[in-house]
Structure 1
């Protein structure tokens, strides 16, 4: 009889097969040329972060060098595009756009983003494009294992989690308050409706990630059809959407945000893209806890509470949340489907019995499409 894995245990996932010793040498060579160092910089404590995502490679390192006899040093993070052989989650990985979005957010708001140092668009130095940021110390709610099972957020008091949730929503509201986002972030703009562009981009990604290779998922196709039948009459004004908006992409000092991370999904679109994404991702984790008969954190980031807090912070009451929550679940279904394919590719999972089981939250999405999912 198959035994479910321990949900509180970290799952080992293959993200990169880069050799760290070779990477340290390449980083030293590149950095020395970039800063015109007197001698090759010393690279120390190079490691992959435990909380790193699955769509790219992040490398932590310390560096020491001198220029004209003057010593310099720092703690850094290199954000690298995935290797071609890593079975990437996304079809393209636009590091320059991520870098420019972070620059724009830093210039337009007091939202904390890591200090940006260098952008390298070529592949000669490390074999793939990358950029380097200042490392920010703090703590991040864990995705692996999810924070609904173990960790500092799980162990926090209800009042502390309420404060953290409010601070996270405040970050989102401040990002959405950036004026004239299409002019400030023209690389994210395009013809026609921003919401329509967003959905069509997801549809194209689904075809590349799954369907065009013979891995069409009927539940995902059904969800796309549901969106068309329930399209908002007025999606509302476009804002800068952070994209992967949630506490797990914030470094906290205490309960205060110290750095907002992971801008790879940034786009223009309705503010509900971010609000629904944050609500849904927590419910994805909470449903996982319920599946394992664990209490989880049922009072955290509840739909009604998030909507009310966002209105207090922004003056805007979220609209069309049913639509945007289904869309968030659909987007995450594509993510999980692609990650399942990747895990099978690397021998970390086996082929599901049914194609819809590529969607880890199958039961949730089915209930949402049927109108039977219970939120608060």
Structure 2
């Protein structure tokens, strides 16, 4: 679901043209095409797309560009991590990882009301969240073997992230020692430090039970620390055919056990199928096959994956509470709309807890999880 384009496209084009003019010593006069937004843009970030043409070193150059604007009014996450994202994207661009290439960044809010990045635009297709790619869209139209290739390409890209050495790449600045040693405990303490911001209802007994379970089962033998993409899912990958071309949305990046990313990758797909009552697309590899492929590509054995799956389900439940409130306050949805995102996330969290031996209460928040439809 895209952030609504609340700025005038023609005025935005004029402002960006002026901004490019401030860099005329680098690239000369720039001509911009119409400004649009991508259909697949996420709710937490504003993306502006346009073509630009300029003369550089005597040669006329054309470039498809994307501007990502730092979140202001529609902020899903509690911390201002913009500078960290910019820094991380620049670092990752030197690793060979498929991330959008940063051409320029503007740290001030003078031009667009917030800092922004100018990146090379990566064309391709992104599996959609709404409607779920399990129900319709280009992925659903592919034959099963190509669907498997899309999924496995995402797993391989995730493994490539986890093979990076955070210290060697300079990503060790993501550590948060004020929340304890690097690892699952640090991730849990950092996330729960901001629960008031997310605004989970006091009567969400499922979320309460999950938090108690997580505190009681923090692993203490996790192995090496990895760079975590954070929002690792095929819905944050631009594909050209079945091949990943760019990994997007690093605002949840952190350091910790790589299994946290793997669990998020699995859970987000589960939410978009079972969690909303949709049948999972045939051809997509299942949990065991996915874990085996990730282990092969990373050269490590997945540890404590059930813990990380509960943590993924809990985090998504909490984050959807914030998203639901933003949707209501923004007016994107008509008043009185029964948008089931948070209810479905809570129900799926309850199921994940039950699978891991927790006596999670089934009462206290919303109806039971819908079963997948067979037709």
Q: Above 0.5 in TM-score?
A: yes
For the Cα contact (< 8 Å) 1:115–1:134, is it kept in 2?
Answer: yes
Q: Counterparts in 2 of 1:285-300, with a 5 A limit?
A: 285-288=272-275, 291=277, 294-297=278-281, 300=284
Output aligned runs, 1:249-328, within 5 Å.
Answer: 249-288=236-275, 291=277, 294-297=278-281, 300-328=284-312
Is 1:368 aligned with 2:352?
yes
8 Å CA contact 2:239, 2:246 repeated in 1: yes
Q: Which residue of 2 aligns with 1:137?
A: 123
Q: Distance in 1 between matches of 2:203 and 2:19?
A: 42
Structure 1 residues 38 and 371: alpha-carbon distance in aligned structure 2, compared to 1, 3 A threshold: closer
The CA deviation at 1:163 is: 1.7
The within-5 A match list for 1:149-168 is 149-168=135-154
Deviation at 1:317, TM superposition (A): 2.0
TM-superposed CA distance for 1:194, in Å, is 3.2
Sort the Cα spacing of 1:265 and 1:316 in 2 relative to 1 into closer, same or farther, 3 A: same
Change (3 A) 1:158 1:299: closer
Residue 38 of structure 2, aligned match among 49, 52, 70? 49
- Paired residues of 1:63 and 1:73 also in contact (CA < 8 A): yes
Q: TM-score, normalising length from structure 2? A: 0.86
Query: 1:44, CA displacement in angstroms?
Result: 0.8
Residue in structure 2 matched with residue 221 of structure 1 by the alignment: 208
In structure 1, stretches of 5+ residues that fail to align are 1-11
CA distance in 2, matches of 1:57, 1:124: 16
Residue 225 to residue 31, structure 1, CA distance change in 2 (3 Å): same
Aligned 8 A contact 2:166 2:227 in 1 = no
Q: CA offset at residue 263 of structure 1?
A: 1.2
- Cα distance, 1:301 vs. partner? 4.3
CA contact (8 A) 2:29 2:55 kept: no
| Residue 198 (str. 1) matches residue 184 (str. 2) | no
Number of residue pairs the alignment of both structures matches: 353
Q: Does 1:177 align with 2:163?
A: yes
Shift of 1:73: 2.9
Q: C-alpha displacement at 1:236, in angstroms?
A: 2.2
Question: Structure 2 regions of 5+ residues with no counterpart?
Answer: 358-368, 370-375
Secondary structure at 1:360 match in 2: helix
Give the Å deviation of 1:67: 5.5
Native 8 Å contact 1:334 1:359 kept in 2: no
Q: CA deviation at 1:48?
A: 0.7
Aligned residues of 2:103 and 2:119 also touching (Cα < 8 A)? yes
- Deviation (angstroms), 1:140: 1.3
Q: TM-score, normalised by structure 1?
A: 0.86
Q: Which residue of 2 aligns with 1:344?
A: 328
1:207 aligns with 2:196: yes
Aligned to 2:67: 78
Q: Structure 2 residue aligned with 1:117, among 97, 103, 127?
A: 103
